Structure 1
Amino acid sequence: MNRIYDVVILGSGPGGIQAAIHASRKKADVLMLGRMHKSSLFWAHVENFCCQLKITGEEMLETGKMQAENFGTEIIEEDVLSILPQGKHFQLTIESGRTFTARSLVLATGTSRNRLGVPGEKELLGKGVSYCVECDGGFFRNEPVAVVGGQSAAVGGSVTLSHTASKVWLINDRFDVAPELLAQAREQGVTILENAEVAAIEGENAVTGLQLKDGTRLDVAGVFIELGAKGVLELAATLGLELDETMKYVQTDKKQRTNIPGVYAAGDICGPPLQIAKAVGEGCVAGIEAASYSKRLKTAQTDADKETD
């Protein structure tokens, strides 16, 4: 028989884990889906989270997973393939083909970071390759680094890095930002390489260099890939979710409610700032609210059943 959960959480990053902890503490029957290593936090090194000194993202997530399980959360490390509304419930199908029904959902899938798709990128992830200047920039103090991307995240990231890194290259085939921001990068000493593309990231146990398609080689210790994030149009299409004006993020209110009753969202999927603290706070609210919604739904169903007896 298809099992019914009070709360099903999509995503096992900081927002999803915090939602699971709080929903389970509310005595809800909670299922959390997703692979932790897909969270951008998993590969990060954290030093700007309240009350926490330097720690790896992997350590944070492993601890959070243990906490959620201790409070009763069931965890399945598979991704959701489909979500279909089913009356006031939702039917989910995961990779293995198993299906579940949820009274409420918490969407905490984060945003998918765009990849370069070049040799060395995957192999050196967390070893000098990063997708977050704010997360990992501090670990390259007095080191030469490169930022790849042509929009505000990349150009702004190069400016941030210029204050700590020994040398910063900003690389892209074209730039689509306000002229003032690009000028600021130049003023900060950032070397801007226009009409340039990355061919490969070099290194074995750590990044040692960057190879461009024109044959140029840069000696760098870090490569920050800031190509933007994919939107959530696929999810919105199946559930009818309302997105923000950029069509990239799910629109929520202060209780993390979406426009669909019973569907909540938390973390990067709700938009910037893409920070752990924000994800955890929103996950807390979403988990509590989803558990309360599920309880009200069950109570209403019980009362309706009594009336028909």
Structure 2
Amino acid sequence: MSGIYDVAILGSGPGGLQAAIHSSRKKARVLMLGRIDNSSLYWAHVENYCCQVKISGEEVLRTGREQAENFGTEFRDEDVLTIEPDGSLFSIKLESGDVVKSKTVILATGSSRNKLKVPGEKELLGKGVSYCVDCDAGFYRDEIVAVAGCRSAAAGGAVALTNFASEVHLYCEELDVAEGLRKQLIDTGVHVHEGVKIEEILGETAVTGVKLDDGSTMDVSGVFIELGAKGVLELTAMLGVQLDENMKYIEADKKQRTSVPGVYAAGDICGPPLQMAKAVGEGCVAGIEAATYAKKMEVE
């Protein structure tokens, strides 16, 4: 898997898979990143998609992956930790610690931010509760913070927070990350509490602590909830991609181009309706356009 890819696709849902199929068919070298069960479709059943009466989301995704593989798409079942411009390319760091480079990027990670669903979470949002380490880490210099989550976004976020906070505590039922990222947690001094969950976020006008399911409490100034892969806020913060006026979805034109040349977006990350039919259509366009852009770079 060495060398430079033409198209790197972040997200393993229907939009990303359709993009992979179309860009691979245009003879582009395509890498798809992400875990299939991160897609919200994986746990759903589909009844309103043209020509399908009823089918499980898992079956849709597995079939789509087989199609993309048959056309030459390469897959890595890893989440992305960071992504940044690198000259005319994009440099993408994976949870294993590996770095891959691509001429173009398609963002197809979906839009939802999983909630912890505990008392105090909603009330203290923006007052110490955050869903974006890359956006808000700088507000917690020399403070003690907590991170909730078991996967790469939580672990990677906890590592990043050590550059700002005096102490970082990661709470999770069971850590599920690559060994390279697990080692980073240890090396950077993150306090990992496996088998311990946050059951309440404490504070009146700002976060003052967390109550844990073992009955103890911990004084913290911030709580970062990272229950999945990197979401729209983190990815756009890294790349400088323009969001809509509500800072919730990526703005993309009819060719699925974002405000950053070489970066495309498809699916729920571009806004409602949050439907598979829309994601597939946008993925088709994004895949064709990204492959065309990458091939044009070769000529130039």
Q: Which category of TM-score, normalised to the shorter sequence, fits these structures?
A: 0.5 to 0.7
Tell me the CA shift for residue 231 of structure 1: 6.5
TM-score of the aligned structures, taking structure 2 as reference length: 0.61
Q: Which residue of 1 aligns with 2:167?
A: none
1:244 counterpart SS class? coil
- 8 Å CA contact 1:231, 1:247 repeated in 2: no
- 8 Å CA contact 2:109, 2:231 repeated in 1: no
1:41 counterpart SS class? helix
Q: Deviations over 1:99-138 (max 9, x none)?
A: 11100000000023433547xxxxxxxxxxxxxxxxxxxx
- The one-letter amino acid paired with 1:38 is N
Q: Which residue of 2 aligns with 1:107?
A: 107
Alignment size in residue pairs? 190
Matched residues in 2 for 1:76 and 1:55: separation?
A: 25
Tell me the CA shift for residue 88 of structure 1: 1.3
2:85 counterpart SS class? strand
Q: Which residue of 1 aligns with 2:34?
A: 34
2:290 counterpart SS class? helix
Matched residues in 2 for 1:232 and 1:74: separation?
A: 23
Q: Which residue of 2 aligns with 1:223?
A: none
Matched residues in 1 for 2:246 and 2:252: separation?
A: 14
Tell me the CA shift for residue 240 of structure 1: 0.6
2:90 counterpart SS class? strand
Q: Which residue of 1 aligns with 2:49?
A: 49
- 8 Å CA contact 2:249, 2:270 repeated in 1: yes
Q: Which residue of 2 aligns with 1:165?
A: none
Matched residues in 1 for 2:2 and 2:73: separation?
A: 18
Structure 2: unaligned runs, 5 residues or longer: 119-198, 200-229
Matched residues in 2 for 1:113 and 1:42: separation?
A: 16
Q: Which residue of 1 aligns with 2:24?
A: 24
- 8 Å CA contact 1:231, 1:249 repeated in 2: no
Counterparts in 2 of 1:88-127, with a 5 A limit? Answer: 88-117=88-117
Tell me the CA shift for residue 54 of structure 1: 0.5
1:282 and 2:263 matched: no
- The one-letter amino acid paired with 2:276 is I
Tell me the CA shift for residue 87 of structure 1: 1.2
Matched residues in 1 for 2:111 and 2:259: separation?
A: 20
- The one-letter amino acid paired with 1:277 is A
In our comparison, the structure showing a higher alpha carbon Rg is 1
Q: Which residue of 1 aligns with 2:234?
A: 234
Q: Deviations over 1:167-191 (max 9, x none)?
A: xxxxxxxxxxxxxxxxxxxxxxxxx
- The one-letter amino acid paired with 1:262 is G
- 8 Å CA contact 2:13, 2:109 repeated in 1: yes
Q: Which residue of 1 aligns with 2:80?
A: 80
Tell me the CA shift for residue 68 of structure 1: 0.2
Matched residues in 2 for 1:231 and 1:3: separation?
A: 26
Matched residues in 2 for 1:113 and 1:40: separation?
A: 11
Tell me the CA shift for residue 284 of structure 1: 0.2
2:241 counterpart SS class? coil
- 8 Å CA contact 2:12, 2:108 repeated in 1: yes
Matched residues in 1 for 2:231 and 2:115: separation?
A: 14
Summarize the Cα distance change of 1:24–1:114 in structure 2 as closer, same or farther, 3 Å threshold.
same
- The one-letter amino acid paired with 1:251 is E
Counterparts in 2 of 1:227-306, with a 5 A limit? Answer: 232-300=232-300
1:61 and 2:61 matched: yes
Tell me the CA shift for residue 235 of structure 1: 1.5
Task: Note the aligned Cα RMSD (angstroms).
Answer: 1.7
Tell me the CA shift for residue 233 of structure 1: 2.2
- The one-letter amino acid paired with 1:238 is M
- The one-letter amino acid paired with 2:4 is I
- 8 Å CA contact 1:2, 1:99 repeated in 2: no
Summarize the Cα distance change of 1:288–1:235 in structure 2 as closer, same or farther, 3 Å threshold.
same
Structure 1: unaligned runs, 5 residues or longer: 119-198, 200-229, 301-309
Tell me the CA shift for residue 32 of structure 1: 0.2
Q: Which residue of 2 aligns with 1:124?
A: none
Matched residues in 1 for 2:231 and 2:244: separation?
A: 11
Greater shift in the superposed pair: 87-96 or 105-114: 105-114
